[in-house]
Amino acid sequence: MELFNFFIQRWDSILELALEHIVIVITAMLISIALGIITGVLITYYNKSAKIVLSIAGILMTVPSLALFSLLIPVMGIGKAPAIAGIVIYTQLPIIRNVYIGIMNIDPSIIEAANGMGISPRKIMYKIKLPLAFPVIMAGVRTSVVMGIGIGAIAAYIGAGGLGAYIFHGISRSNDKMIIIGAVLISVLTILADKGLGRLQKHYEI
């Protein structure tokens, strides 16, 4: 009850932080998805590069996010820009990997037929390969978005704001209520994003 009152009293500033969080994550994810899909598509044409690109993306994901953000400070300073960059770097692997796997696992006879019928490679990509790989790609995107929202909280450490800032303030002031509210709201955002993307996927799937 006390927690509830605390929330009611400060709901406007909490809402502001939540919106800030959402804006950071959406910006980062739009960049990440575009970059990931382009990279994933490109490495299907150059099979040798696929291994290298996937390992690099894999290694980047193993860097602790706190360290990744700190390393970005000398390059990009503090604030929202390095936060967005960090989230993009961190969420590349699931997208690239799923685009690659989704496309490479299409029944080869479908691609052979398309080739033999005289459809250009570019059209085969966007009319056949990408639609067929869509469910797998979406699974990767959902994983990345979930990760992105979580890491977005840590980005508050380099001054990006968002709900993470609320948690950090709670820690420094030993205020349990702030920590709990921040954490719960981040969880709620994550669940909503995941479910929403799931809906979207179902809607466009065959």
Shortest CB 96 distance to other proteins, Å = 22
- Binding flag, residue 111, other proteins (CB under 8 A): yes
- Distant-in-sequence, close-in-space partners of 37: CB < 8 Å, separation ≥ 6: 95, 99, 137
CA pair distance 148, 84, nearest whole angstrom: 9
Contact 164, 80 (CB under 8 A): no
C-beta of 67 vs 206, nearer to other proteins: 206
| Token pair of 126 as six digits | 């966007």
C-beta of 59 vs 113, nearer to other proteins: 113
C-beta of 112 vs 176, nearer to other proteins: 112
Residue 78's nearest CA partner among 160, 19, 148 is 160
C-beta of 130 vs 183, nearer to other proteins: 130
- Binding flag, residue 109, other proteins (CB under 8 A): yes
| Token pair of 136 as six digits | 């797998």
Shortest CB 102 distance to other proteins, Å = 13
- Binding flag, residue 116, other proteins (CB under 8 A): yes
Nearest-10 crossing angle of helices 163-172, 176-204: 160
- Binding flag, residue 118, other proteins (CB under 8 A): yes
C-beta of 2 vs 107, nearer to other proteins: 107
- Binding flag, residue 115, other proteins (CB under 8 A): yes
CA pair distance 140, 94, nearest whole angstrom: 5
Residues that bind other proteins (CB under 8 A): 107-120, 123, 128, 131-132, 206
